[in-house]
Amino acid sequence: MKRSEHRILTTHVGSLPRARALSDLLIADEAKRPIDRAELERLARAGVQHVVAKQVESGLDIINDGEQPRVGFQTYVGQRLEGFNGVSERDPFKDFADYPDFGQVWANRGMVMSKVFDAPAASEAVRYKDLTPARRECDLFDQALTAHPGEFTETFMTAASPGIVCTTMRNGGYYDSHESYVRAVARELQKEYELIHSRGYILQLDCPDLAMEWHGMFQHGTLKQFQDAITVHIAAINEACENIPADRIRLHVCWGNYDGPHDCDVPLEDIFPIIMEANVGAFSVEFANPRHQHEYAALKKHPLKKDKILIPGVIDSTVNYIEHPQVICNRLLEAVSVVGDRERVIAGADCGFGTFAGWEMVAASVVWKKFEALAAGAKLASKKLWG
């Protein structure tokens, strides 16, 4: 994984806006309705080509395929692995429950989207028997990259963590405990992780379970119980990634990619010491939104290890405000001050811009302008840091 050796590099979290026609087909396919698979393939290919071109045009250094062929950042696993059926029983997030009028505002948006709170459950043994869809996604990405030789620094591809799969797509009773379920899913996802690594991409593990599920699956328990659970999740990650060098893996953690109250979010200070036990080379963390801008204090109390990179979110993925480059610069300078090393900071976003098919709160045209601002802010910060 490259460091910011001569300037602050730029990247993002992964998911990017999809064309409505592509989202509609992905949603229909997830619902097991008949679809035109040739058309889905065509739209997915076009989507990957488009987002790769827009990332390059926006000035990003470390780019991906925007998760265009996937219905959701983690629910795609339910389509690639056998053993998922029915519907998971999930409580609403605590801030949705605490503020029912906010929940109504959310419902009034009328978003047509994929299965988010009604994902399937593991009713049988989960097995990853066929890597063809994962290989095909890599092929589409590689094909799109050929149009942009020398125009980017590195590539990454996302994959769901075992913990977020198991907290979203619940144990339907087949496994005797949450831990045994998490470790079973980890053993299967290891195949996808190693495929991504073998294709030369940085593997990004998407792990909102490490923060978000405090006000989700574990909202009725104690903080210690939540900490114990994410300790298991981190151990499962380390086991699944045992054959991949740490410097080829980055981990993203967030508190949920939605513009809600978030006043029940677990403090970073309470979870970061556990998260840092992940055998990865970089940590992507929210720092741009109003609920977590102050959380650099947690890194002062629990400093990042000297061989790790921080990818701070310096643009908000839930609002249509386009951050001023000077604001982004200031946020990056704060991150560098906390880390203590300009080379170990890469500019990023709080979360994805197309988390699920149909779940897109920021207009696509605004997303690309946010990325342009990200690149401009990184240049301002680089000028101050390198002269």
Euclidean distance between CA atoms 293 and 272, whole angstroms: 15
pLDDT value for 89: 85
Work out whether the CA dihedral 241, 245, 246, 249 comes out positive or negative.
negative
pLDDT reported for residue 114 = 85
Between the CA of residue 307 and those of 1, 188, 253, 276, 352, what are the distances in Å?
11, 29, 19, 12, 26
Rounded to whole angstroms, the Cα distance separating 124 from 142 reads 34
Q: What's the pLDDT score for residue 306?
A: 95
65: closest CA among 135, 148, 155, 194?
Answer: 155
Phi/psi of residue 251, each to 5°? -120, 130
pTM of the complete model: 0.97
Give ∠ CA 370-308-266 in degrees, rounded to 5.
65
Q: What is the pLDDT of residue 382?
A: 98
CB 156 within 8 A of CB 62: yes
Kindly state the tokens that stand for 361: 């709160």
The answer to whether 310 and 272 have CB atoms below 8 angstroms apart is no
**DSSP code of 149?**
T
DSSP 75: T
CA-CA distance, 225 to 192, in Å (whole number)? 29
Q: How many whole angstroms separate alpha carbon 164 and alpha carbon 126? A: 15
Domains of the chain: 20-386 (3.20.20.210)
Across the chain, which has 387 residues, the per-10-residue mean pLDDT values are 97 97 96 96 98 98 98 95 92 94 90 84 94 98 98 98 97 96 98 98 98 97 98 98 98 96 98 98 98 96 96 98 98 98 98 94 97 98 96
Report the alpha-carbon angle 291-295-298, nearest 5: 150
